[in-house]
Structures are given as C-alpha cells and as structure tokens.
C-alpha cells in the first residue's frame, strides 16, 4: 500500500505513454507491461485511481467515488480476483423509501407501492425500454436502424410520452439522476437504451441484489488502483499532468507539467471532457472534436455519514431511498461488514447537486442528513462524522459520475468513439462497449486500448523502417 515512486526523470522516450492513472489507464499499462512493453503513466493528481479513491473516515475505509460491482461485470471481477481483492454483498434488506411525485411510500417487494395503475405504467414503460434496447447492436448504439430517431429524443420527452402519473414519472426521473448523474432533459433516449442493453434490463441498473449495486470490495475499491500501481512501480509519474500531444509520422511528443517525453503510441485514459482540454497537434479530426465537446460530465456529489451502529436495521428500515426531491437522489446503507460504525451514503446528482453546491457547508450537511433521516429515521440527523466528495469541483474530473451524451451525439459521431487518431488511442470507461461509466467499462476499455497498441507495435516492429499506419487509424493528414 505504499504510494508508487516517481519514475526517473531521464525517461526521454518510451514505447507507450498513458495519460491518466485511473482504473482504465492502469489496466492498460499493466497489460502492456505484462507483454514486455516499456510504458509510463502520467497522472495529474498526487494519487492514482481517478474517480476511485479510498478515504479514512471515523476509523474506517470509505470510498469517495465508484464503489459497486454487480453481475455481468466480469472484467472487473476477474481483475479483483487477480489482484486478491475480495468482494462482499452490499447490505440490501428491508424496504426502500420511495419519495417521488409528491408522495412518500415504502416499497415492499420488487414493485413500488404505486397502486395498480401506476405500477402497470412503470412496468410497461420499463418493458418498452428493454424490448427496444434488445434491437440495438451491442457496444455500438449508433449503428441500430432507428439510432438517429432514438438519439433525437431526450429521456425527459420519453418519460412524458410513456408515463402519465406523477408518481411513475417521478420514479423514472429520480432513476435517471441515480444512474446517469444528470437530468432526463440532458440524456438522449438512445443513451438510456445503450445502458439497458448492456445491463440486460432496467432493474439491474438500479438494483442491489442482482443489479449494479450488488457487491462491494473488501477494503474499498481504492485497493484496485493501488494494487495495480504497486505492480507498476517506477512506471507512474504522479503530479505530472499532460498538457500537449504533438504527433509526427513516427511518434508522439507529450508535454507535461514537468517536461517532455516521446512515445511510439499514447493511450488517453481520461474522461472526454478532460481529453477535450489537451492541446493536440495536428488538430484532431472534426468528428473527434465534436465527440469530446459533446460528452459533458454529469453532476455528482457523494455524501456519507457514520453512526455508532446501523441503527436503522433494528427498526426494520433499509436505509435506502429513491427521491426526486433531493438533495440525495438515492441513499444506501453503506456499512462495511463487521462491528464498526454504521454508514449511510447518498448520491446528490443532477439539478439538486448544483443547488446543493450553492449552500454553505452547514446547510449542505443539514440537507443531506435530511435525506438520510427520511431513509433511516430521525437519528440519522446526528452522525458521528459527515463527509462530502464534490466531483464537480475537482479540476481533474470536472463532474461526475461520468460523461453523458446529449441527443444527437451518438448518432452523429459515435462511430469514432474508439477510433485511434494516428498513434493516439482512447481508453477510459466512456469508451467501453459495455458498462460505460462503470468500473467494468474502465477495465474493458483499458484492455482494448492496450491490445490495439500491442498490435500496432507488433506490426511496426515486424516491418522496421516502415511508417505503417494502424489499420483502424484516422491518421491526420
């Protein structure tokens, strides 16, 4: 668990430079290093992990960012196994509180207590999403026959068309904030369907058991990047943001906060909104420019509080909340296993996040604990400790959880998402075919980008002196 040491400053040329030591960049670097490639990872922050970060609070380890893993997320599960990081089921018992459409109710069983009409609306709407999503080609939402039509509509418009009651609409609006960390107005229907497609349903996107929130990592998700970094000692340069990429026929020169370095290939493994800030010469192709400009980050603050015990469990409460009021769109019982303190965690996302961030710290705390109290009972207003992680104010993330394409992005420029630009390859969870935005997507993207680079280098090495463009490359002219 020692922080990775800084690589020697005399590295003038490497085979592969990776921009960003988040999970995706580290996975790519590990894969490249395992094939004997000479690789260096440049990281702006003074830590690895990107949107994954363990924090010590009230004597226990919590996670400031991504933390869940669920069924179907096989790549991150395999990685965790390889790294010796176990998982455990997140606490998921009792009845979640539903606070939507001006009503508050306790869920019992899989269906929300909406009355038969509203429940039918929700079920039929979800079924429409599942059936429509099944027609999409996996990993390439822009390739379906109706892609442009589905991409031309916001999720807000879809909600208004498919749902009529205030409560059912509230369920989907709140769900959108929880899953996408953005407002339904800001998300294209095609993007929602992309998620339903890879999650193989609507429920898995919001569910604990059987869903994306099913399990957690023993010792915190931060152990994944930390262990990857331990295996890459000497190959990671912390506190060294990459500012500029200059590409020639046979190499890329990186300018960082500390100097320059050249590489045969580069993997950019930062969110699109950050990749958009790199100075790249020659200028990136117009479609790539558009793609990077049109994947703005969502809005997310993660709030957590600790209590002597998870007292709500004794009251038969789940500690879970789904809300379209906010500030927390969702609250979870985030207590680690063992006899330590009880923990509640909330996602403050979308519109409520920006409102929340205009409050002073005392009011933010009171507002968040209000959500917790509605999930777990009034005692939740008196925590032992309370912490916030504002990803929107972090200059090396600039939003959270991830990039969210608005309407008309996927169908116009989605096809260049994973296309290298000359010697520049693209990783990061926002380039995944499945589990876009999730830990699993970060792993998939890192592995894929590493494989592209290995292929490129293998071909080039086999033909020394040749200036061979990568088969899939959109080489700037």
Return the residue of 106, 148, 162, 381 that touches a copy of itself, per CB under 8 A.
148
From residue 102, alpha-carbon distances to 107, 156, 270 in Å are 15, 18, 39
Shortest Cβ 16–a copy of itself spacing (Å)? 25
Please tell me whether residue 239 binds a copy of itself under the rule CB under 8 A. no
Considering only residues 44 to 83 of the shown chain, the ones binding a copy of itself according to CB under 8 A are none
For residue 24, say whether it is annotated as part of any ligand binding site.
Answer: yes
Q: Which residues of 410-429 are buried (b: 16+ CB within 10 A; e: fewer)?
A: bbbbbebbbbbbbbbbbbbb
From the list 79-87, 118-126, 389-397, 460-468, the region that binds a copy of itself by CB under 8 A is 389-397
From the list 205-213, 291-299, 314-322, 465-473, the region that binds a copy of itself by CB under 8 A is 291-299
Considering only residues 1 to 20 of the shown chain, the ones binding a copy of itself according to CB under 8 A are none
From the list 69-77, 87-95, 259-267, 390-398, the region that binds a copy of itself by CB under 8 A is 390-398
From residue 326, alpha-carbon distances to 352, 354, 369 in Å are 6, 11, 11
Q: Which residues contact 346 (CB under 8 A, 6 or more apart)?
A: 302, 303, 304, 321, 327, 328, 329, 330, 331, 332, 368, 371, 372, 375
CB burial of residue 145 (10 Å; 0-12, 13-18, 19+): exposed
Please tell me whether residue 395 binds a copy of itself under the rule CB under 8 A. yes
Which strand (E) or helix (H) includes residue 15? strand 13-19
Diameter of the chain measured on Cα atoms: 72
From residue 71, alpha-carbon distances to 74, 75, 201 in Å are 7, 11, 12
x/- track of binding to a copy of itself for residues 160-199 (CB under 8 A): x---------------------xxxxx-x-----------
Return the residue of 71, 165, 340, 408 that touches a copy of itself, per CB under 8 A.
408
Shortest Cβ 395–a copy of itself spacing (Å)? 5
Instruction: Please name the residue ranges forming H helices in 328-360.
Output: 351-356
327: preceding bond cis by omega (within 30 degrees): yes
401: preceding bond cis by omega (within 30 degrees): yes
282: preceding bond cis by omega (within 30 degrees): yes
Return the residue of 297, 344, 348, 443 that touches a copy of itself, per CB under 8 A.
297
C-alpha–C-alpha distance, residues 30 and 24, integer Å? 10
x/- track of binding to a copy of itself for residues 251-280 (CB under 8 A): ----------------------x--xx-x-
Shortest Cβ 2–a copy of itself spacing (Å)? 29
Shortest Cβ 435–a copy of itself spacing (Å)? 23
For residue 416, say whether it is annotated as part of any ligand binding site.
Answer: no
Return the residue of 296, 310, 319, 327 that touches a copy of itself, per CB under 8 A.
296
Determine contact, residues 136/185, Cβ cutoff 8 Å.
no
Instruction: Please name the residue ranges forming H helices in 3-65.
Output: 23-34
C-alpha–C-alpha distance, residues 396 and 405, integer Å? 19
Count of chain residues binding a copy of itself (CB under 8 A): 49
For residue 318, say whether it is annotated as part of any ligand binding site.
Answer: no
Return the residue of 83, 290, 381, 459 that touches a copy of itself, per CB under 8 A.
290
Where would I find the beta strands (DSSP E) of 223-363? 236-237, 242-247, 252-256, 260-268, 279-281, 300-307, 317-323, 330-333, 342-349
For residue 44, say whether it is annotated as part of any ligand binding site.
Answer: yes
For residue 43, say whether it is annotated as part of any ligand binding site.
Answer: yes
Please tell me whether residue 469 binds a copy of itself under the rule CB under 8 A. no
Return the residue of 294, 423, 434, 448 that touches a copy of itself, per CB under 8 A.
294
Which residues contribute to the annotated binding site? 24, 43-44, 242, 347, 430
Q: Which residue ranges make up the site for a copy of itself (CB under 8 A)?
A: 148, 151-154, 156-157, 160, 182-186, 188, 273, 276-277, 279, 281, 283, 285-287, 289-290, 293-294, 296-297, 299, 351, 353-354, 357-358, 390, 392-395, 398-399, 406-409, 411-413
Which residues contribute to the annotated binding site for substrate? 347
Which residues contribute to the annotated binding site for FAD? 24, 43-44, 242, 430
């Amino acid at each position: 668990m020692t922080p990775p040491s800084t690589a020697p400053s005399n590295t003038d040329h490497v085979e592969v430079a990776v921009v960003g030591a988040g999970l995706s960049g580290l996975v790519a670097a590990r894969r490249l290093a395992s094939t004997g490639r000479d690789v260096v990872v440049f990281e702006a922050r003074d830590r690895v992990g990107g949107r994954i970060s363990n924090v010590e609070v009230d004597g226990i380890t919590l996670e400031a960012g991504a933390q869940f893993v669920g069924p179907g997320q096989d790549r991150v599960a395999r990685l965790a196994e390889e790294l010796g990081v176990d998982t455990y089921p997140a606490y998921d018992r009792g009845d979640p509180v539903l606070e939507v459409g001006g009503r508050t109710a306790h869920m019992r069983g899989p269906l929300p207590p909406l009355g038969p009409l509203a429940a039918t609306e929700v079920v039929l709407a979800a079924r429409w999403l599942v059936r429509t999503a099944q027609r999409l080609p996996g990993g390439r939402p822009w390739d379906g026959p109706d892609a442009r039509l589905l991409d031309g509509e916001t999720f807000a418009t879809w909600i208004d068309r498919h749902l009529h009651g205030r409560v059912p609409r509230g369920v989907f609006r709140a769900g959108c904030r929880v899953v996408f960390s953005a407002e339904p107005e800001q998300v294209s229907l095609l993007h929602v369907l992309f998620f339903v497609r890879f999650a193989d349903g609507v429920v898995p996107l919001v569910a604990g058991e059987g869903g994306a929130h099913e399990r957690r990592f023993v010792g915190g998700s931060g152990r994944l990047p930390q262990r990857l970094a331990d295996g890459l000692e000497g190959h990671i340069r912390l506190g060294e943001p990459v500012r500029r990429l200059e590409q020639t026929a046979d190499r890329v020169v990186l300018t960082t906060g500390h100097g320059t370095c050249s590489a045969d290939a580069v993997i950019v493994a930062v969110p699109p909104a950050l990749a958009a800030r790199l100075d790249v010469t020659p200028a990136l192709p117009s479609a790539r420019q558009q793609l990077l400009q049109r994947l703005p980050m969502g809005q997310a603050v993660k709030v957590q509080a600790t209590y002597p015990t998870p007292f709500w469990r004794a009251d038969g409460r789940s500690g879970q909340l789904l809300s379209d009021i906010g500030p927390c769109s969702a609250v979870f019982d985030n207590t680690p296993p063992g006899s330590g303190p009880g923990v509640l965690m909330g996602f403050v996302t979308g519109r409520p996040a920006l409102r929340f961030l205009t409050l002073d710290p005392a009011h933010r705390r009171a507002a968040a604990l209000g959500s917790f109290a509605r999930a777990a009972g009034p005692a939740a207003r008196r925590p032992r400790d309370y912490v916030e992680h504002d990803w929107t104010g972090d200059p090396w993330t600039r939003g959270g959880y991830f990039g969210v394409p608005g309407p008309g992005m996927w169908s116009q420029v989605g096809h260049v998402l994973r296309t290298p630009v000359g010697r520049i390859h693209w990783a990061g969870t926002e380039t995944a075919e499945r589990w876009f935005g999730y830990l699993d997507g970060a792993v998939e993207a890192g592995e894929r980008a590493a494989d592209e680079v290995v292929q490129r280098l293998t071909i080039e090495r086999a033909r020394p002196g040749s200036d061979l463009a990568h088969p899939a490359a959109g080489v700037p002219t």
